[in-house]
Amino acid sequence: MTLGNLGQIFEARGDYDTALPYLKQSLDIQRVIGDQKGEGTTLSNLSLILQARGDYD
């Protein structure tokens, strides 16, 4: 949860390059522990960053 929160803080500040690694780490942990709700939230946050960057690949 903390990694995801850090990612969201950097996302809110527009610092996408810093936010992405935090969110990716959070996603990895959520997948290992089976936190599907957290995984969905993190995937949504990742998609918002990629959309804001115009990264559609």
User: With contact defined as beta carbons under 8 Å apart, do 23 and 7 qualify?
Assistant: yes
Q: Report pTM.
A: 0.89
User: With contact defined as beta carbons under 8 Å apart, do 28 and 40 qualify?
Assistant: no
Mean pLDDT of 8-32: 96
**Tokens standing for 24?**
């990716």
Mean pLDDT of 15-40: 97
Looking at residue 50, what is its pLDDT? 94
Report helix angle 16-33 to 2-12, nearest 10: 160
The 10s digit of each residue's pLDDT in 28-43 is: 999 999 999 999 999 9
